[in-house]
């Protein structure tokens, strides 16, 4: 599913050169649930951004589903990102004046899907995360856990190859966080490939495998 070979990422800040990733090579198989851990500044968020095609590596190659995406143009990467990668963020990133159903429909409408089909697929996605009865609620009418479930439904509605979750429980209390992780485990058992960044060991334990990043390198696999 994901193959990274000798990925480096360097930023030039004035006279200073900052080497964030120093040669990351790893493989994530279809259907895996992988946690990425590391201290602040270790490079884990940069790695996630490269996997999600939100950033490009300085050197190295990245293949997704057997296709080398690191060499695609910006527009081609944007197309892959919208169709094959789903994102879940710590702070939900929901639009305040839009109800849950419209939030989940948006990625499909951006792709040009007919509104009726987008409506049906969004309803199915909300049902998958247990929120079919909250489809017409706006974010301020939802709990933190419900907001994150809407975000997961929005990420899943395009049938992505991978789901990237960046600190998905960071804004939730421990009980709600555990419920959310149980949902992610359920989705993974249904075949969804999940890559999750977390700094919490108890959250990482929900994954099948943990990759530790330290000083821009894979520390242990």
Residue 99 has pLDDT above 70, yes or no: yes
pLDDT 10s digits, 22-57 = 999 999 999 999 999 998 889 998 999 999 999 999
Helix (H, G, I), strand (E, B) or coil at 173: coil
pLDDT 10s digits, 155-205 = 999 999 999 999 999 888 999 999 999 999 999 999 999 999 998 899 999
Which is more confidently placed, 92 or 178? 178
The b-or-e profile of 149-173 (16+ CB within 10 A means b, else e) is bbbbbbbbbbebbbbbbbbbbbbbe
Give percent above pLDDT 90 in the chain: 81
Mean pLDDT score of the chain: 92
Helix (H, G, I), strand (E, B) or coil at 135: coil
Q: Which long-range contacts (CB under 8 A, 24 or more apart) does 45-51 make?
A: 45/166, 45/197, 46/9, 46/20, 46/21, 47/7, 47/21, 47/213, 48/164, 48/166, 48/195, 48/197, 50/4, 50/7, 50/9, 50/21, 51/2, 51/4, 51/162, 51/164, 51/195
Structure confidence at residue 46 (pLDDT): 93
Number of H helices, E strands in the chain: 7, 10
Structure confidence at residue 220 (pLDDT): 62
Question: For residue 194, how many other CB atoms are within 10 A of its CB?
Answer: 24
Domain 29-57+79-220 has CATH 3.40.50.620: no
Closest CA to 137 of 96, 173, 171: 96
Residue 143 has pLDDT above 60, yes or no: yes
Q: How confident is the model at residue 70 (pLDDT cuts 50, 70, 90)?
A: confident
Residue 221 has pLDDT above 70, yes or no: no
Structure confidence at residue 87 (pLDDT): 93
Structure confidence at residue 90 (pLDDT): 82
Residue 71 has pLDDT above 90, yes or no: no
Structure confidence at residue 13 (pLDDT): 85
* Sequence-separated (6 or more) residues with CB below 8 Å from residue 89: 151, 166, 167, 168
Give the separation between CA 182 and CA 165, rounded to whole angstroms: 14
Q: Is the pTM of this model over 0.75?
A: yes
Residue 72 has pLDDT above 80, yes or no: yes
């Amino acid at each position: 599913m994901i193959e990274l070979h000798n990925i480096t990422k360097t930023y030039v800040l004035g006279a200073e050169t900052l080497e964030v990733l120093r040669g990351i090579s790893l493989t994530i198989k279809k259907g895996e649930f992988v946690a990425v851990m590391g201290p602040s500044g270790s490079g884990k968020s940069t790695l996630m951004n490269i996997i999600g095609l939100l950033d490009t590596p300085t050197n190295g190659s990245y293949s997704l589903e057997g296709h080398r995406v690191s060499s695609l143009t910006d527009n081609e990467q944007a197309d892959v990102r919208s169709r094959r990668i789903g994102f879940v963020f710590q702070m939900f990133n929901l639009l305040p004046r839009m109800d849950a159903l419209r939030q989940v429909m948006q990625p499909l409408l951006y792709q040009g899907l007919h509104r009726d089909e987008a409506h049906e697929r969004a309803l199915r996605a909300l049902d998958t995360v247990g929120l079919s009865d909250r489809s017409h609620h706006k974010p301020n009418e939802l709990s933190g856990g419900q907001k994150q479930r809407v975000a997961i439904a929005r990420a899943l509605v395009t049938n992505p190859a991978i789901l990237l979750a960046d600190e998905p429980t960071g804004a939730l209390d421990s009980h709600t966080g555990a419920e959310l992780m149980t949902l992610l485990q359920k989705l993974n058992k249904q075949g969804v490939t999940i890559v999750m960044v977390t700094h919490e060991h108890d959250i990482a334990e929900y994954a099948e495998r943990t990759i530790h990043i330290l000083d821009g390198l894979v520390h242990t696999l």
